[in-house]
Each structure stands twice: as C-alpha cells, then as structure tokens.
Structure 1
Amino acid sequence: MKNVMPFLMFQDGKAEEAMNYYTSLIEESEITSIVRYGANEPGDEGTVMQATFSLKGQAFMCIDSNIKHEFDFTPSFSIYITCETEEEIDELYNKLADGGQALMPLGDYGFSKKFGWINDKFGVSWQLNLPL
C-alpha cells in the first residue's frame, strides 16, 4: 500500500473553489495539483477531473464528478482540526459556518475547552476543537 488519503467528490463544479477557500483559511496549506476536463471529455470543460491539496500537511484528493449521484457529503465523516487558541477557533468557525450549517455551535461540551461542528457552504463537515 502506498498511501491513504481523504477524497472529496463535488457534484456541482465547486472543487476548485472549495480547495482555494480551504487553503486560504488554514496556514501551511496549498493546492498541489489540478487536472481539468478538456473539450470533448466526459466532464464539463475546465472543471476538476482530479486534484490534490494539503491542509497543514494532510493531503486530500478531490474531483468534480461528471455523474450526478443520489448522495452527497455526510457529517458522519468530517475534517477534524485541533486549534491552538480561542481566537483561532472562533475565526475558523465563523468563516466555515458562513453560508453553511452549525451542527454543534461553539461551546463547552465538557470534553474540551471549546468545540464546534459545522457543515460548510460546500456541504463538507468540520469539527473544530480547542483542547482543555
């Protein structure tokens, strides 16, 4: 086995927008490769056939699916971030929640100093934690 990597499938042509958004929010993050659909290929021209990006060193792969599926992202799989300061968790939570949905508002749930769970505007689920 060579590696294990989370894979995000976007169905609305938003993969590149999502990657740009995520890498702008999290330090030490970058888009590492993008292959786009060309003319006369099965996906919409210019959308992401396959891309990779990293968030704080964690590699991800994503695509813009050229097939509509009956499913989308689910909160049962989420990106979990351990924050270092209250300012960091507040800022990241507010940015990710903008246009999204709060599943657990920022608060003290007893298992951490501050915790929040969000579905962002793309439907991807995030858990943010500020440890005790």
Structure 2
Amino acid sequence: MQVAAQPQKITTFLMFEGRAEEAMTFYTSLFDDGQVIDVTRHGPDGPGADGSVEHATFRLAGQRFMCIDSPAKHEFGFTPAVSLFVDCADEAELDRLHAALSDQGAELMPPGSYGFSTKFSWVNDRFGVSWQLNLP
C-alpha cells in the first residue's frame, strides 16, 4: 500500500525589503528543479511599493519556500543563526553553489574539510541569507 505524500507543513519564509523577486529569481536559477510557483504583487494603493512582492511561493530541491517584500522597515535582517543547509550531490555542485552564493556576499567558512564532512562551506549571499553547503 502506497502512502500519499503529505503536504509540506513547515515552510521557510523569507522577508526582504525590496529584493524578494531578485532573490527568488536568483535562487531558482541555481537548482535544476527551481521554480517560481506563484507571485502576488502590491498594487498602486499599497501598502508596499507598486509591483513589489506582496507574497510569493517558489520551490528549490523539492522544498517549498515563501517570500515577501515587507512594506515596513525593520531594525533586523537575516542572521547566520538560521541557515539553509544543502547536501550537495558532488564537489562540482558545492563549488558552483559556493561561487554563486558568495558572489557579492560573505564567506563565513571557505570550502574545505572540517572533519565532519568531505567538503563544506558556509556563506551569506548578497541578500543576507545564510547557506551551509555540504558534501556528505
């Protein structure tokens, strides 16, 4: 008896201040199955800037994510205390993702062997989102 797949109950939600679409487009370009599922935009009457992302859903590596452009300015942003952990299929994938995600971002741990995996790196991307890239 085959059990039907349950819908994803917990979804990563990313809040940007004006760069949600740029980030979502970038992220979906990095993964073979990356896909923008749905985008709702703010209209001319707000509360966000006209055309900015009110709510969007996208998929990376089989996982669903949501993002918005917050119309409110906040005194906080993303932090490496929460990161997206990617188990890479091979060294070429890890190197490709590291190069793309660290471009205009920050390298927290350069690619290397740290004793707990074959190869590992940790970066903050240009939007401030933290990524741990692992080669098991």
The alignment's TM-score, normalised by the length of structure 2, stands at 0.93
Give the C-alpha shift of residue 71 in structure 1. 0.3
2:72 is paired with a residue whose SS is coil
Q: What are structure 1's unaligned runs of at least 5 residues?
A: none
Quick check: 1:14 aligned with 2:19? yes
Per the alignment, residue 29 of structure 1 pairs with 34
Aligned length: 129
Give the C-alpha shift of residue 3 in structure 1. 1.9
Q: Percent identity?
A: 55
Per the alignment, residue 59 of structure 2 pairs with 54
Q: Matches of 2:33 and 2:47 in 1, distance apart?
A: 34
Give the C-alpha shift of residue 55 in structure 1. 0.3
Q: What are structure 2's unaligned runs of at least 5 residues?
A: 1-7
Give the C-alpha shift of residue 56 in structure 1. 1.0
Q: Matches of 1:84 and 1:35 in 2, distance apart?
A: 33
Give the C-alpha shift of residue 27 in structure 1. 1.2
Residue deviations 1:33-82, cap 9 Å, x none? 00000011210000000000010110001000000000000111111100
**Aligned residue type for 1:37:** H
Residue deviations 1:66-125, cap 9 Å, x none? 000000001111111000111111111011000000011111000000000000001000
Q: 2:100 aligns with which of 95, 100, 107?
A: 95
Q: How does 1:1-132 map to 2 (within 5 A)?
A: 3-11=9-17, 13-131=18-136
Q: CA-atom RMSD, angstroms?
A: 0.9
